[in-house]
Structures are given as C-alpha cells and as structure tokens.
Amino acid sequence: MERCVPGSASGNSLADCASRYARSASQVQSDGMTHGHGQAEILELDAEVLREQTAGIVSWLPVEQEPREIVDLAAGTGAGTFALLERFPAAQVTAVDASAAHLEQLRAKGGGVRTVVADLDDEVWPELGTPELVWASASMHHLADPDAALRKVRALLAPDGLFAVVEVAGQPRFLPGDAVEEQLHAAADRLHADQLPHRGADWGPMLRKAGFTVAAEVTIDVEIEGSRTPGVGRYALGVLSRLRHSPAVAELSAEDLTALDQLLDTAHPHSLLRRTDLVLHTQRRVWAAHREN
C-alpha cells in the first residue's frame, strides 16, 4: 500500500489521507484479508477478556427491585445482555442492534433473548416495551444526536426506571511504553475528535438535561495481565489489526508501519501472540440514572 503523508510538501491533507486509507481498508475487507478480526470477533474478545469487569458493573447498579423487562441498546453479540441475564434471570431482555448478523450470533447463545434490529439514530424507535432497566454500553458516543436518544430512553423507561450508561475512555492499550502503539492511538484520537465528539464525554450533565437524576457514577480502571489471561493477546491482535486498516496509519512513518506489521504477523518473532509482557489497560466510566417522574 502506498503511504499517504499529510502536509504541505505532499499536497495531501489529513482528510485526503483518511479518505484514501478508508477506501483501501474497504478493499482489503472485500478481498477477505482482514486477518479474521471483524467487528463481531472484537466484540466476542472484549466480552471474554472483560467478563469479570462487566459482571461487576452490573452488580454495582443501584437496582432496588428486580426488573421484569430490560432493554440492551446496541447490544452487539451480547456481552452486556448475558451479564444482565446472569444477575436478573427472571427478566425478559430485549437486545437492540443495527446489525442483524450480530443479533443472530447473540440468539445462537440461547437465553430466550428477544432481538430487535434498529438504528438508534433513526427518528422513531420500534416498540421496546416499558423496561425498568435500560443498558447502553460503549454505544452512546457513536450516535449522531445523543441528546435525542436520551430523551427517547426517558420516554421508554418505566416510572423511576434506571438507565445505565457505560462508556470507555479511548482504545485499550496493551504494550509497555511502545511508541508505535501510542502514535497509532494518538492519530486515531485526532481523527475521532471530529467524527466522535462525544467520546470520553461526561454524560452526567446530558442525562440531567434529558430529565434524569444521576443516582451514582463510578470510574473503573482495568489492568489485566496477558500472562494470566490468554485472551489478552488475541484481543490485542484484533484491536491493533483493525487500527492497521484505519485512516490513522496515514500518520505513521514507514519504520513504524514495519514495526506494527511485525506485531500483527503471527509468524514473526515479535508477534503480539508471542509476547509475555502484554497488559490490557482500559477504563470504564458508568452512570446510573433514574427517570424523573
């Protein structure tokens, strides 16, 4: 792949490079050369590696009475869905996602979960019942109009129902002081600043504006050693593989790209899967908010 360098000397803007690399990534995916790390696989790895943390968040929720109905917004392949079912086994859970394929994978896991294909950016949402608990994990910052979505959630909830918003602070890190990983994340963050302006936002004020009372909030710093959790290496490979085919690589030098490709090459001595020093660092921030009557 020819490298696109932003700057006056090359005549390329960052947007030009982003567009070029986005087209290239699309071509790679259409040729079936994504190294097997599609969105569904990343979601499954996230669920596997962070299962304990997700269960801890669900247990932390200030729920006074067990909910009869729960809605999981942007459920993906079900990481949050099944954590909720484990704590509230008698509840009817509805999983909502824009991807029919993700929901099909979720249904295959059993549990009697109702699934609904819907885009949360649509003006009108489908009928989702009157849940006592709505869960949205790592999804609200993707919405074009999160304020409108918050109002829809409030209208959806039962009186005094609880809305749990779980958000992440950027991409997970894996390598100890690795310059290539840090530069790649920095480039991705600069691109996301325009594309995802609500990523890393404080959702408390937005929840209050939409008619919620924030009952509790917590920040969870996660550190998981790869030597004790085998899935960390595969998770790192998945996350960095997706970034390798993103516009962010436009800002990396040829030397950095070579180093990154060595990390992603499972047959190379420097492969992520061969390293013993991987540590997953990530952060979860959670808001639990009641609907104001």
Note the pLDDT tens digit of each residue in 168-206. 877 899 999 877 898 888 888 777 666 655 576 789 999
What is the DSSP secondary structure assignment for residue 135, as one 8-state letter?
E
Q: What is the mean pLDDT of the chain?
A: 85
Cα–Cα dist 272/260, whole Å: 10
Q: Are 131 and 247 in contact (CB under 8 A)?
A: no
pLDDT tens per residue, range 14-32:
334 333 333 333 322 322 2
Name the DSSP class of 109: T
Residues 6+ apart with CB under 8 A from 111: 81, 82, 85, 93
**Closest CA relative to residue 154, chosen from 217, 69, 211, 73:** 211
Nearest to 264 by CA among 187, 186, 192, 184: 184
- Pairwise pLDDT comparison (9 vs 145), residue with the higher score: 145
Residue 241: what residue type?
S
Strand partners, 288: 164, 216
Domains of the chain from N-terminus onward: 1-32 (no CATH), 34-291 (3.40.50.150)
Distance, CA of 202 to CA of 230 (rounded, Å)? 33
Query: Rounded to an integer, what is the distance from CA 223 to the centroid of its chain?
Result: 17
Q: State which H helix or E strand residue 44 sits in.
A: helix 39-49
Q: What pLDDT shows up at residue 90?
A: 97
Distance (Å, rounded) from C-alpha 22 to C-alpha 71? 33
Handedness of CA 105, 108, 111, 115 (dihedral sign): positive
Q: Where are the alpha helices (DSSP H) in the chain?
A: 14-30, 39-49, 51-60, 79-87, 100-107, 146-156, 179-195, 203-209, 231-244, 254-264
Average the pLDDT over each of 7-16, 87-96, 213-222, 258-267 and give the range with the smallest value: 7-16
| pTM of the shown model | 0.82
Could you give the C-alpha distances from 143 to 63, 126, 196, 199, in angstroms and in order? 26, 17, 8, 10
Residue 196: per-residue pLDDT: 59
Q: DSSP 3-state assignment of 289?
A: strand
Q: Please tell me the predicted confidence (pLDDT) of residue 195.
A: 62
Q: Mean pLDDT over residues 7-12, rounded?
A: 42
Containing 231, the helix (H) or strand (E) segment is helix 231-244
